[in-house]
Amino acid sequence: MSERIVTVASTVSIIVATMWRELLAAEGIHAELGGTNMATSIYAMTPQLGTIDLFVREADAARARELIYEAEGGDPDSQGEPDRQTAP
């Protein structure tokens, strides 16, 4: 029986997605990136279309979400963007 893979976060930034993947790797959690379109602009380093999803094993999902939550300043929905209530 294979382990179920789940999405723990999504973003439009390849840079943010890569940082999340490296954060999880440092904690021993294997993560993969995928999404609707992984093509990137050579100028902006952002996806041309769609989002980038971060996938982990279901057994690691809760810890992965917690780590991303902490890395994003406690806002699990920020996905690399500033908190609109505190941003100037």
Radius of gyration over every alpha carbon of the chain, rounded to an integer in angstroms:
13
What average pLDDT does this structure show over 19-32?
A: 97
CATH superfamily, domain at 5-71? Hypothetical protein rpa1041 (3.30.70.1530)
| pLDDT tens string 56-88 | 999 999 999 999 999 988 755 544 443 433 333
What pTM value is reported for the model?
Answer: 0.69
User: What's phi and psi for 79, nearest 5 deg?
Assistant: 45, 45
Longest dimension (CA), the chain: 50
The full set of domain ranges for the chain reads 5-71
